A and B are shown apart, each in its own frame.
Chain A
Amino acid sequence: MTIAGGAYIALIFVLVLGGAIPLGLYIARILQGEVRFLAPVEHGVYAVCGVDPAREMRWQDYVVALLLLSVIHLVLLYAILRLQEYLPFNPQHIGPMSPRLAFNTAASFTTNTNWQSYAPEAQISNGAQMFGLAVHMFISAAAGIAVAGAVMRAFTSSGLQTLGNFYVDLTRITLYLLLPFTIVAALLLVWSGSPQTFAPFATAHTIFGSVQKIAVGPVALQEAIKEFGTNGGGFFNANSAHPFENPTIWTNILENWLLLVIGFALPVAFGRMVGRPRQGYALYGAMAIILIAGCIGAYAAESHANPLHVAAGISAAPGNMEGKEVRFGIAASTTFNVSATGTSTGAVNSFTDSYMPLAGAVPLFMMELGEVTPGGVGSGFYTIIVFALLSVFVAGLMVGRTPEYLGKKVQAREIKLAMLSVLILTVFILVGGGFSLITTSGLASLANAGPHGLSEMLYAWTSATENNGSAMAGISADTPLLDYGLGTAMLFGRFAFMIPVIAIAGSLAAKPKLPDSSGTFPTDGALFVALLIGVIIILGGLQFLPAMTLGPLAEHFALFAGKTY
């Protein structure tokens, strides 16, 4: 570890945590309908699409609207991927995706996961990226934030049956939040060297007498929404390690900021909407503490070079450079990958498969915590609300009192739904991963032998179920088992979690808002933050400890004892 590396991590967090505050206040105004600068466009959209903006939805209507829109969009993407050779903007004449890969990819982008079992340069056209994938990057992000908004309203209302209007939330978030930031960020990316063109691959005749084909495309715009909407689906196979996606250390800072900032802004927006800012900052603080600890831990582990490689004669400074880019170095690489797994982004600017065992365990652990640090846009917020409800429940058990959160009584129904949503994820990760490792097909997918192979498979199922999308990328995931298995895990991980959460929101919205009494457990102080972090780590993380012991921990001890596989 160097002082420069520490300073870089500090810089990222100052920019993100500072920027999240004004952005959160702005998001609260969007959700409350106070941002109007594109009102004519907004009303035009409603008129054309048959949306009645005044209509308030019950939680059941909200779920139906969300599911229907997602299913329609999933089918459309499947069709685009299967038919891309007949569609425009395909200068490389790329053929159709196979049915199972198209299913996996459609599920992946509908659920904001952006898991990529395909190699973009060879298997997807510019057009399918642009009007297939990139549109999902906007809509799945906006849908996540819309659900977060519905959950926020459950705590602002008292005795109400409704949670707002899904279509209105979706449209406003897209127009006022995602679109302007994406356009500005994309222009900065082009300025720094990210291409934006519809031309076919360029051909260079090098000065040492060879020919180099260079893949280009409309990269910058997709890159910007990829980070800002915590999507993560790279235009290129190498994702944000590719010099066209992330050309300089400055674009790396920008992308790291983009992928974290909404996640931290949403609890601030929540505090503003319930009129109690400290409540929002308690959640923001818990998220930040876990993420900062993860970034420091991964950097510390990764800045020690591989002892076997040092013994073979390479310099110990600056650390493990396998799978990393020189323009980023160690600190900027680990901070990016931990940020992208603490959110559901899953973008990478360096390759986790080649990380030192304990450094690679950090991104895996961040996902296992349930994507709350700060999690995906919207999904991170509503997931941490589930953990907050479980925290007040645990505190309530200690003193034998009915728990309350923000004046709403938390009762058996809410706790059952909260536990259901948490357990669904665990089942997919452990059962899916375990099953894959006893099949010949699953074992054949692994790129590395020994304990690291187990880490690869555990990582794949965790990433899919938690809707992250990053990978220990050596794994060959385009097989029937993993295409269908992980695709299903993504759909359940998204919707089987989201629907119980909306049901909790509906149930809480209908309850009367009680004033705080002397017996109320304060949920805006250090004690609550500590309890919340404890619940996240024990409930989210501990169930994976046996698997983590067999994977990264076993590899760490084997490696430092000089063993290779």
Chain B
Amino acid sequence: MIRELRPALSLVVFFTIAMGFFLPAVFTEVAQVIFPFQARGSLITQNGQVVGSAVIGQNFTGPDWFVARPSSLTGTDAKGAAVATPYDASESGASNLAPSSAALLAAVKQRVAAWHNTYGQRPVPADAATSSGSGLDPDISLANARAQAPVVAAARHLPADRVVALVNTMAYLPALGFIGMPNVNVLRLNLALAQMKAGTNSVSSK
């Protein structure tokens, strides 16, 4: 037992210094040099101001934006009561409601009613009525984006076919037909949408 004390203790100290300080310090330096944009969090700037991260979703709502998925994140207000804080990226998490949960069914029904109200009577894309795993899902399904496009175009007084074309240009389509799901990054899509409003004709302004 005493005999093992020195090597056991020394190895713990050695590995803590080597893997806990030296390795991350050097690796972070290298990562920041090779991939400066991604290593800092893929932060997108416009006019010198950070407007979001390319891989983190934001709480776009209303008919004049492409709307993000429901997010089940909650925080506490000044009085300590629980409040919904959708897309608060200082936290993350899912609803964790069971498939047999009455609360989940009620939430789904409410989202379906709201969707029908804005986008018309048709089956609601699954991702539009369910909350994501991270609460920060940056994407919506292509079907969801295409269903929203005419309403967004009308709200912004843009030709519908141009907005649909924008969605199609920015869509991710599964590589080889099976790697990933057809989807669109909501922040990038809305950033491009905002530029269209400014009167540019191009739809490929990524």
Contacts and interface: CB of A to CB of B under 8 A. Distances in A.
B183 A326 contact: yes
Contacts of A3: 178
A319 interface: yes
A179 B108 CA distance: 46
Contacts of B180: 248-249, 327-329, 332
Interface string B4-26: 11111111101110011101100
B24 A218 contact: yes
Given A68-B4, A322-B131, A565-B101, A221 B27 contact: yes
A395 interface: no
A348 B94 CA distance: 11
A351 B38 CA distance: 26
For chain A, give the interface size range: 35 or more
Contact of A212 (B6, B58, B181): B58
A323 B136 contact: no
B132 to A, nearest CB: 6
Interface in A329-373: 329, 332-333, 348-351, 353-357
Interface string A546-565: 00000000010011000111
Contacts of B141: 326
Contact of A312 (B11, B53, B96, B112): B112
Most-contacted residue by chain A among B42, B98, B102, B129 (CB, 10 A): B98
Given A327-B181, A327-B183, A207 B51 contact: yes
Contacts of B199: none
B39 A350 contact: no
A80 B47 CA distance: 42
Contact of A208 (B10, B65, B91, B126): B65
A215 to B, nearest CB: 5
Given A68-B5, A204-B51, A212-B52, A315 B126 contact: yes
B93 interface: yes
A564 B137 contact: no
Nearest to A217: B41
B201 interface: no
Contacts of B55: 193, 243-244, 247
A30 to B, nearest CB: 17
Nearest to A175: B18
Interface stretch (A184-192, A413-421, A486-494, A511-519): A184-192
A154 B88 CA distance: 53
A197 B134 contact: no
A473 B59 CA distance: 24
Nearest to B10: A49
Interface string B96-111: 1111111011001100
A249 B54 CA distance: 15
A552 B102 CA distance: 17
A325 B4 contact: no
B31 interface: yes
Contacts of A463: none
A322 B177 contact: no
B164 interface: no
Contacts of A186: 27, 31
A196 B11 contact: no
Interface in B53-102: 53-60, 65, 69, 87-102
A210 B60 CA distance: 10
Given A314-B126, A326-B137, A353 B94 contact: yes
Residue with the greatest number of chain A CB neighbours at <10 A, chosen from B1, B116, B132: B132
Contacts of A314: 108, 112, 123-126, 128-130
A196 B191 contact: no
Interface in A1-22: 3-5, 7-8, 11
B38 A192 contact: yes
A323 B96 contact: yes
B19 A565 contact: no
A351 B99 contact: no
B33 to A, nearest CB: 11
12 contacts: A65-B8, A121-B91, A191-B35, A196-B32, A202-B41, A207-B191, A221-B24, A244-B56, A354-B95, A356-B99, A564-B100, A564-B102
Interface of A: 3-5, 7-8, 11, 45, 48-51, 61, 64-65, 68-69, 72-73, 76, 119, 121-122, 130-132, 134-135, 138-139, 167, 170-171, 174, 179, 183, 186-187, 190-199, 201-208, 210, 212-216, 218, 220-221, 236-238, 241-244, 247-250, 253, 305-306, 308-309, 312-329, 332-333, 348-351, 353-357, 447-452, 472-474, 555, 558-559, 563-565
Given A326-B139, A565-B101, 14 more contacts: A4-B174, A65-B7, A131-B16, A138-B19, A194-B38, A204-B51, A314-B126, A317-B126, A318-B126, A324-B130, A351-B94, A353-B98, A354-B99, A447-B96
Interface of B: 1, 4-12, 14-16, 19-21, 23-24, 27-28, 30-32, 34-35, 38-43, 46, 49-60, 65, 69, 87-102, 104-105, 108-109, 112, 116, 123-141, 143, 172, 174-181, 183, 190-191, 194
Listed from nearest, the 7 A-B pairs whose CB atoms lie closest are A131-B20, A474-B96, A241-B133, A49-B10, A249-B180, A238-B92, A4-B178
